[in-house]
Chain A
Amino acid sequence: MLKILKYSFYDLMRSRWSYVYFAFYLLLGVVLLFLNNDLSKAVITLMNVIIVLVPLIGTIFGVMYYYNSKEFTELLLAQPLKRSSIFLGQYLGVAISLSMSLILGLGIPFIFYGLFKSSAIWDFSLLLITGTFLTFIFTALAFNIALSNENKIKGFGYAILLWLFLAIIYDGVFLMSLIMFEDYPLDKLSLIGTMLNPIDLSRTLILLKLDISALLGYTGAIFKQFFGTNFGLIVSISMLSVWVVMPVLRIIFKAKKKDF
């Protein structure tokens, strides 16, 4: 698996898109710091960008990489290699190179700005950790979609729909249901609802760490009680891990049964 990972990773490192992605974050980091002049505020703005953009890029890149490397995959399948190691190697290659673009692209400007001397370092680290989680989650979901759809156009369509659903539609539905059932106690329900969507989960996790939960009113207080504690943090991180593990298991399962 490590050899496949190595080749996928090098292949991506040589591709233009990794650099574009890296340069984008670099630019974003520099511009935000320059305009904001305040690390914590820059972290909040960054969060809003990352929470939406990272899943999108992860999904698109994952689907694109799978379809583009079909020939390579077929070549590998005839070699004495396990199917699971071929697909896991490719998946990790994509996810790791995307995460590296994210971490380096954002990390470099923040370090130069004096991140290590600032109190925002934990918030920033949490931001990068959730960003990495989101990359791994959405790349895995993208691989699942691509493995299940031979047709490229369909695969891309489903991938975009998935992103749209989790990034935007889910929130809308969630909010509507909260308004409709506002007469009932909803704290537990909204906590569970948040847990079930990795994007919401990441957003809440960061927001509450940033100590702006006062803006969220009563629900914010409940959320704060849960997510703000170490217990909440551990539960959230394990929930994000579950979101990585489940699709990865399905990749292995699907890959074993597929005809090439």
Chain B
Amino acid sequence: MVKKVIVEATINGDPVELLCEPRQSLLEVLRDELELTGSKEGCLTGDCGACTVIVDSRPVCSCLMLGVEAAGKNITTVEGLATGATLHVLQQKFLEHASLQCGICTPGFLMSAKSLLDHNPTPTEADIRYALAGNLCRCTGYDKIVKAVIDAAKHVADGVGTTHHGKVPRKSASEATRDMLGKGEEVK
């Protein structure tokens, strides 16, 4: 009999108590339990990067991490990028440079790019291409994405933009958790 586990983590700045099955990936927990559906499921093997989130300041594939491993971690998802109605500078630049077509890969690219700028606010183009090498896009040919990140970095360097992340706009993670906990502790 597999026990569900209570996990306490911080998601997009909110303290969250999660109830997970150990077999659930962090991606499943984010999407299915917390209704944070910005992180996308692509390959489920760590090749495409569509599920990238930031865990304790490192970019990780949330499909290759168990939800239970999130205990005590500080997690940022794409929902945590914008501050209220104000887009993060990376989101704004992706729009301006038309860095997306179908959009499935975009949340992952945004999170990898954010992680890069958090660690290195003045990246070279090579740094950017290296940092985004774990994210696949079949629409854009990458160039517009790279240009958006170069532009965003310039704005951050000029003090125009910010890489600070705000709260989850739509429904906070803790609200979503309370809803989920309300579902009861039945094991599937």
**Does B associate with A?**
no
